[in-house]
A = this chain, B = another copy of it.
Amino acid sequence: MNSDVEGKDGPDGAGDLEGAGGRPLRRDAELNRQRILKAADEVFTERGLEATLDDVARQAGVGVGTVYRRFPDKASLADALFEERINTMAGLAVQAQEADDPWEGLAGFMLTAAEMLTSDRGLRQILMFAAHGHDRTHYARERMRPAVGKLVERAQAAGQLRPDLSATDIPVMEFMLGATAEYARDVRPDIWRRYLTLLLDALRPSRDGYTPLPVAELSPDELATAMRTSPLKPSGRGSTE
């Protein structure tokens, strides 16, 4: 599940943490970081974001203090997880470009991404709630964008995708599916597939023409800022607000 994490660091294999000052984080420190991310993944996946950082720490086999040393606060941890997944998704988008059929590439990506998204409660909640706009997610988003953009353009060029669709529409639709999955999680966890199919039908080019889309797509920036208020601080425990 985290297999793509390593790959994201890019050229320098030393890890992207503290790229500035130098010290690339001691071996065991980085190990702890991974341990925590893995634990957070497991705990959040099972119980959602409501899970306590103490729980995460326990699962990771470290003290809470250690978690705080690596991640300034709970939201940052969620963000880091989010970043990881976006990276994975970005990878999927890149891979999808290799599909022979452009439409299959796009549709396949949307399906795989949705499967990933909907199978992880924590991720769904992060998507739906978590505070973003943090710097750390920026890089990941930036990597995602062009890959998806290419999938879209390619399909449009091939006449397989309605031309008024924009690259930023894709993540929004993924979000819609994630929300639906969260909504129906106890009754019909897979009902989102129904709506993915529906949406894909809507994306098809049509001899009948298209209803003009009434508002412009989200700009990449807008997409990035879409969520601001985090339910991670619903009770405002730490903040003076």
Contacts and interface: CB of A to CB of B under 8 A. Distances in A.
Contact of A225 (B172, B186, B198, B240): B186
A214 B115 CA distance: 14
Contacts of A229: 48, 186
Contact of A213 (B197, B206, B225): B197
A229 to B, nearest CB: 7
Given A172-B191, A201-B211, A226 B50 contact: no
Interface in A141-197: 169, 172-173, 175-176, 179-180, 182-184, 186-188, 190-191, 193-195, 197
Interface residues of A, number: 54
A3 interface: no
Contact of A198 (B184, B199, B231, B234): B199
A200 interface: yes
A222 interface: yes
A190 B48 CA distance: 28
Given A187-B225, A191-B172, A226-B187, A179 B218 contact: no
Contacts of A226: 183-184, 186-187
A227 interface: yes
Given A187-B225, A188-B215, A191-B218, 10 more contacts: A48-B229, A50-B234, A128-B183, A175-B180, A175-B183, A179-B180, A191-B215, A194-B217, A198-B199, A238-B238
10 contacts: A175-B179, A176-B180, A179-B180, A184-B218, A187-B225, A188-B215, A198-B199, A198-B213, A201-B211, A238-B238
